Structure 1
Amino acid sequence: MGWAIALQGGAGDIPLSLPPDRKQPREAALRHCLQIGVSALKANKPPLDVVELVVRELENNQNFNAGRGSVLTSNGTVEMEACIMDGNTKKCGAVSGLSTVVNPISLARLVMEKTPHIYLAFDAAEAFAREQGVETVDANHFITPENVERLRQAKEANRVQLDYTQPITGTAPKETSAPKGDSQIGTVGCVAVDNMGNLATATSTGGFVNKMVGRIGDTPIIGAGTYANSLCAVSATGKGESIIKATVARDVAALMEYKGLSLKEAAAYVIQHCVAKGNAGLVAVSAEGEVTMPFNTTGMFRACATEDGYSEIGIW
């Protein structure tokens, strides 16, 4: 048994031709956030604090589809969502429909700790944020030129864009800086276990480019995109509707609990057999300090480290 941590920055059809100016900042961000998490675990911070800390950092990085980098709805607005869960107690908190909250993951934790409920959304969640004094900004803060261009391309093609959908060719004017091979940047998440076997998970996202206003994905749904119990902690990414239907995160835990599978066996089974190819990935840790990061998409931005010295940062 020992501590372990894993984080993800989105899965999908990430082209091998992803240019260096798109690839390198994300790899650097993953490395930076991994080090923050590792340092926190080495300082004996509770896993719940660790996953919140790491996801906050990812939310503040506009290279990922959460917080500052959240993609736009069909109306050109931002609707962010997040979820956090403690494995031992199964306490959890979730939020959806946020448009002014700088760090949705921290509001999700406040829902968990300061209310008798699990899930708050839209105007009520925004009002709760103001009541709790969390940092908020004007909604325009989240509307970046890159995401305005992503939405324009998606509308021209009349489609909802999934994580890392291949670019729509021939639609962007040459003078624009439309991200090639990068039509959407990805959901973020972190899972951690300390050397006492305490587990936690956190996930945050802006959803899909050109999604309908009011659409809710897998991220804030307990057991779909986010789940932790005394056996494991899971954070999923990919096509939310597919992840919800497959109850991805809970099924990993259930296979361990009821079938006696190892973390790697359970996660591999869910990703290979329960979700259609090209739709999902996840990061997970077990109470024993195991870590796994399977995906059935072209790639998944991911990173992990364990107490015994193993570490990995990968895309494909």
Structure 2
Amino acid sequence: MVGWAIAVHGGAGVDPNLPTDRQEQAKLLLTRCLNLGISALRSSASAIDVVELVVRELETDPIFNSGRGSALTENGTVEMEASIMDGSGRKCGAVSGLTSVKNPVSLARLVMDKSPHSYLAFSGAENFAKQMGVERMENDYFITEDNVGMLKQAKEANSILFDYRIPTSGYESCGVGVESPITMNGLPISVYAPETVGCVVVDSQGRCAAATSTGGLMNKKVGRIGDSPLIGAGTYACDVCGVSCTGEGEAIIRGTVAREVAAVMEYKGLGLQAAVDFVIKERLDDGKAGVIAVSEKGEVAYGFNCVGMFRGCATEDGFMEVGIWE
């Protein structure tokens, strides 16, 4: 028997001038989600059930960019995506292009458990949601007034913007100020502050699981798919660990970041924190991202190469931390 461990994130890349009340709101939500997961783990829930439970809670609260409160596409619509993976047998499910599903992570779980496939997208995923009878909402449930305003700013700037809490001038985010614009796939973007959500868990049986959910990028092109639903990029779980990523999706995809954490543990023999540190340093090129991870030994780890990451973690021996900054 190992001790259980859990970690949760609400995105990497935080405005250093984020108002204190916003910071506290985020930390309260992370704490609530951690406590939800801890309670389930103490009741002997499995790792896969706990990651779904926690990410559902994150999707239901509009503070972060997933489910309700998702970023808007160039057309002012939502295209949500999520994935989930059970390290026991490496089973997985993923969805993209959702417009009506209240909890994308639960549809991803149903793809894993109730379909012959690993990944469904757009109209196929929506049709599957209807067949499964999952809860669906009208479009205005997902769209917040703040995000409508942010999309307007993004269109005026002819750019991809990420979050209403980040000012469009005088900022420094992910360590890059306005004089040195951040690029994505070589193209400049105005602001970098993604807020994908995710959870990783190892239960008392040593089973690892991971789940990630997002609304993507503000003003993204319709049909863009990020790292969150891509198994091995934004989400991965196996016998040795569970990993969820957040940040610049295109860089995470290129580096197959989540799988890479597992790979350096398996093939280089690195411990969990050393594996996370190695991947953050060596596999992101110029990209900015954060990672949370657990191991089958009951360890928890995280790392990021930008100004901050909304995160929380806890272990069975009583350790608990919720933070944003280094």
What range describes the TM-score normalised by the shorter chain of this pair?
A: over 0.9
Does the aligned pair in 2 maintain the 1:18–1:182 contact within 8 Å?
no
The aligned amino acid for 1:3 is W
Does the aligned pair in 2 maintain the 1:243–1:275 contact within 8 Å?
yes
The aligned amino acid for 1:230 is D
2:139, 2:62 → 1: CA distance? 15
Which position in structure 2 is the counterpart of 1:239?
248
1:136, 1:166 → 2: CA distance? 30
When residues 262 and 166 of structure 1 are mapped into structure 2, their CA distance, relative to the original with a 3 A threshold, is: same
User: Paired residue for 2:293, among 259, 284, 287?
Assistant: 284
Quote how far apart the aligned CAs of 1:184 are.
5.3
Does the aligned pair in 2 maintain the 1:97–1:122 contact within 8 Å?
yes
The aligned amino acid for 1:211 is K
Deviations 1:129-159 (A, max 9, x none): 0110000011121111010011111111111
2:309, 2:192 → 1: CA distance? 15
Which position in structure 2 is the counterpart of 1:100?
100
2:194, 2:289 → 1: CA distance? 14
2:284, 2:193 → 1: CA distance? 21
Question: What does 1:255-274 align with in structure 2 at a 5 Å threshold?
Answer: 255-274=264-283
**Count of residue pairs the alignment pairs up:** 305
Which position in structure 2 is the counterpart of 1:177?
none
Does the aligned pair in 2 maintain the 1:150–1:209 contact within 8 Å?
yes
Deviations 1:207-247 (A, max 9, x none): 00000000000001010000000000000000100000000
1:146, 1:184 → 2: CA distance? 15
Which position in structure 2 is the counterpart of 1:69?
69
When residues 5 and 301 of structure 1 are mapped into structure 2, their CA distance, relative to the original with a 3 A threshold, is: same
Quote how far apart the aligned CAs of 1:281 are.
0.3
Deviations 1:241-289 (A, max 9, x none): 0000000000000000111110111110001121135611010000001
Does the aligned pair in 1 maintain the 2:98–2:104 contact within 8 Å?
yes
Question: What does 1:75-94 align with in structure 2 at a 5 Å threshold?
Answer: 75-94=75-94
Question: What does 1:218-229 align with in structure 2 at a 5 Å threshold?
Answer: 218-229=227-238
Does the aligned pair in 2 maintain the 1:164–1:185 contact within 8 Å?
no
Tell me, yes or no, if structure 1 residue 124 matches structure 2 residue 124: yes
1:309, 1:22 → 2: CA distance? 27
% of aligned pairs identical? 59
Does the aligned pair in 1 maintain the 2:160–2:191 contact within 8 Å?
no
Which position in structure 1 is the counterpart of 2:145?
145
Which position in structure 2 is the counterpart of 1:302?
311
Does the aligned pair in 2 maintain the 1:150–1:184 contact within 8 Å?
no
1:90, 1:150 → 2: CA distance? 38
1:261, 1:165 → 2: CA distance? 37
TM-score, length-scaled by structure 2: 0.90
Which position in structure 2 is the counterpart of 1:18?
18
1:6, 1:246 → 2: CA distance? 22
The aligned amino acid for 2:234 is G
SS of 2:17's partner is: coil
Which position in structure 2 is the counterpart of 1:4?
5
Does the aligned pair in 1 maintain the 2:147–2:164 contact within 8 Å?
no
Aligned alpha-carbon RMSD (Å): 1.7
The aligned amino acid for 2:124 is A
Does the aligned pair in 2 maintain the 1:81–1:219 contact within 8 Å?
yes
Which position in structure 2 is the counterpart of 1:34?
34
Gaps of 5+ in 1: 171-180
When residues 9 and 108 of structure 1 are mapped into structure 2, their CA distance, relative to the original with a 3 A threshold, is: same
When residues 74 and 158 of structure 1 are mapped into structure 2, their CA distance, relative to the original with a 3 A threshold, is: same
Which position in structure 1 is the counterpart of 2:58?
58
SS of 2:124's partner is: helix
TM-score, length-scaled by structure 1: 0.93
Does the aligned pair in 2 maintain the 1:157–1:168 contact within 8 Å?
no
The aligned amino acid for 1:6 is A
Instruction: State which drifts further: 49-58 or 274-283.
Output: 274-283
The aligned amino acid for 2:132 is Q
Deviations 1:144-185 (A, max 9, x none): 101001111111111112468842139xxxxxxxxxx99856
Which position in structure 2 is the counterpart of 1:213?
222
User: Paired residue for 1:293, among 269, 294, 302?
Assistant: 302
Tell me, yes or no, if structure 1 residue 49 matches structure 2 residue 49: yes
Deviations 1:92-134 (A, max 9, x none): 0000000100000000000001111000000110111011000
The aligned amino acid for 1:261 is L
1:215, 1:278 → 2: CA distance? 18
